[in-house]
Amino acid sequence: MKVDPQQLIDDGYIVLRQVVPHDQLKALRTSFETLVEKQKVVWARERKPEERPGGVWTTSAQPRVFFDEVVDAATANTVEFCLHENTLGVSQQLMRAPEAAITLMALMCNPVQDHGPASWHRDIDPTVQAPLKGMQMDYVKNGPGYVQWNIPLYDDNVFWLVPKSYCRPNTPEEHQHLLTRPQEPMPGGIPIELSAGDGVVYSHMGLHWGSNYSTKLRRTVHLGYRAFGSASYPIVDHFYWNLEFTKHLSTEARARFEHFSQLHTQQCDVIESTFHAIHNKDADNFRDGLAKLHPGEEERMVAVVFLSKLADKIRTLKTPEVSKLSIEERIGAISAHRLNFHLYEDFADRFSAEAAESIWQRFSTLYEKIEAEIAQSVPDRTSRVMRYQLTEMPANFEVEEFIRSW
Ligand SMILES: [Fe+2]
């Protein structure tokens, strides 16, 4: 399947027909249904006392099965589909990347009771990632380092988006819409009409909407792919899986995931040495490391902001107060996800508490500049909508100014 990367940059999404090869649809439906049933058993068991019987399956507006967690040898075609030329291969083309890997494998299901529309949103938080325009200009100039997909197994028009909204901030009208009537159709928003087996690949920065979480049968595969070696550094740079499940896969499929894991480890090696260069105030090695992480010369500062957020997480994990907390509390302390936390904790093992603190200190001027911008543009940090208002990268503060700030 041939795609045009520029189409994704121009529109923020591409609809592709028959992403699921016609002769695989029936078997995939069967396997995914088996995995839904397995996950329902897990959810029923994990139900909290205050929840209705069934747990997540009966309470969630959009029950989401991370299917690698329940896959077995008989249903391995579900995971293998994520390695297909039409999914992984297309993602790699769109990211113009020498390598690409799966970050997330999920299945979005209909709820058992009508939940109606969700709220319009963007899948990013500029206050914990990077100022919105920085991430957007990085995407426009260097192309994506991360792409997201919805691939329904049954006809699906639940997903809406506002074309081209990924590469600009909210208009004042959109901002008001999000604040006052987030569950109503957005001006400029369009439904993405997908037949069974079609797919939409899109920028998760764009405004989008789960327009109706009704009881109509919905089994939509939701995937994320990140690049290794693309011009930009991926906004999503971690995996929501670990290698445990790959024991159920064929030797060939397992080898692909092992390779993804190796790519991640190699990336961690580069970040570790880049952090040590920062620690040692070694500007040349820092510039080299940064150029490996973000080969595109323009908007390289966005990757520095991402590194600052990672340095903050590592420093936090290494503090004596946090390191003695339970795993749930440690996950909360760095706002990680239960499925990717192990990657942060493993990476933190590469540094002493003193080194982590010192690396973090080198980012303090950058941190303060971003905090000042948040104070000016985000009236309420607890509001997801308000956090989209952090749009501006620090002014007159590029990589060389960052180095001078050490
Ligand atoms: Fe979303």
**Distance set, CA 101 to CA 34, 119, 195, 337 (Å):** 25, 29, 26, 19
- Do 34 and 164 have their domain in common? yes
For residues 224 and 226, what is the distance between their CA atoms, to the nearest angstrom? 7
- Do 226 and 294 have their domain in common? no
Q: What is the CATH number of the domain that holds 178?
A: 2.60.120.620
- Do 294 and 334 have their domain in common? yes
**Distance set, CA 174 to CA 58, 120, 133, 178, 392 (Å):** 32, 10, 16, 6, 18
- What pLDDT score does 314 carry? 97
Cα 391 to middle of ligand 1, angstroms = 19
Cα 265 to middle of ligand 1, angstroms = 28
- How buried is 371 (Cβ within 10 angstroms: 0-12 exposed, 13-18 middle, 19+ buried)? exposed
Cα 205 to middle of ligand 1, angstroms = 9
Q: What is the CATH number of the domain that holds 312?
A: 1.20.272
Cα 73 to middle of ligand 1, angstroms = 30
Cα 158 to middle of ligand 1, angstroms = 12
Tokens coding 236: 């999503």
Please say which residue of 211, 242, 260 terminates a domain. Answer: 260
Residue type, 141: K
| Mutual angle of helices 300-318 and 353-362, in 10-degree steps | 150
Residue type, 225: Y
- What pLDDT score does 63 carry? 98
Cα 91 to middle of ligand 1, angstroms = 18
Cα 62 to middle of ligand 1, angstroms = 11
Tens of pLDDT, residue by residue over 244-285, are 999 999 999 999 999 999 999 999 999 999 999 999 999 999
- Do 61 and 197 have their domain in common? yes
Cα 206 to middle of ligand 1, angstroms = 9
Cα 125 to middle of ligand 1, angstroms = 12
Cα 239 to middle of ligand 1, angstroms = 17
Cα 119 to middle of ligand 1, angstroms = 9
- Do 77 and 218 have their domain in common? yes
Cα 208 to middle of ligand 1, angstroms = 6
Comparing CA positions, the residue from 343, 359, 362 lying closest to residue 351 is 359
- Do 339 and 391 have their domain in common? yes
pTM as predicted: 0.97
Cα 121 to middle of ligand 1, angstroms = 6
Q: Which structural domain range is residue 330 located in?
A: 263-404
Cα 163 to middle of ligand 1, angstroms = 15
Please say which residue of 210, 245, 260 terminates a domain. Answer: 260
Q: How many domains does the chain have?
A: 2
- How buried is 322 (Cβ within 10 angstroms: 0-12 exposed, 13-18 middle, 19+ buried)? middle
SS (H, E, C) the chain: CCCCHHHHHHHCEEEECCCCCHHHHHHHHHHHHHHHHHHHHHHHHHCCCCCCCCCHHHHCCCCEECHHHCCCHHHCHHHHHCCCHHHHHHHHHHCCCCEEEEEEEEEEECCCCCCECCCCECCCCCCCCCCHHHHHHHHHHHCCCEEEEEEECCCECCEEECCCHHHCCCCHHHHHHHHHCCCCCCCCCEECCECCCCEEEECCCCCEEECCECCCCCEEEEEEEEEECCCCCCCCCCCCCCHHHHHHCCHHHHHHHHHHHHHHHHHHHHHHHHHHHHHCCCHHHHHHHHHHHCCCCCCHHHHHHHHHHHHHHHHHHHCHHHHCCCHHHHHHHCCCCCCCHHHHHHHHCCCCHHHHHHHHHHCHHHHHHHHHHHHHHCCCCCCHHHHCCCCCCCCCCCHHHHHHCC
> To 5 degrees, how large is the angle CA 203–CA 173–CA 122?
25
- Do 281 and 213 have their domain in common? no
Tens of pLDDT, residue by residue over 82-141, are 999 999 999 999 999 999 999 999 999 999 999 999 999 999 999 999 999 999 999 999
Cα 152 to middle of ligand 1, angstroms = 16
Cα 161 to middle of ligand 1, angstroms = 10
Cα 109 to middle of ligand 1, angstroms = 14
Cα 209 to middle of ligand 1, angstroms = 7
- Do 149 and 34 have their domain in common? yes
- What pLDDT score does 66 carry? 98
Please say which residue of 240, 260, 280 terminates a domain. Answer: 260
- Do 107 and 179 have their domain in common? yes
Low-confidence ranges of the chain (pLDDT < 50): none
- Do 224 and 334 have their domain in common? no
- Do 389 and 318 have their domain in common? yes
For residues 274 and 290, what is the distance between their CA atoms, to the nearest angstrom? 7
Cα 243 to middle of ligand 1, angstroms = 26
Q: Are 201 and 174 in contact, with CB atoms under 8 Å apart?
A: no
- What pLDDT score does 145 carry? 98
Cα 123 to middle of ligand 1, angstroms = 5
- Do 234 and 286 have their domain in common? no
Cα 255 to middle of ligand 1, angstroms = 31
Cα 388 to middle of ligand 1, angstroms = 14
Cα 193 to middle of ligand 1, angstroms = 17
Cα 41 to middle of ligand 1, angstroms = 26
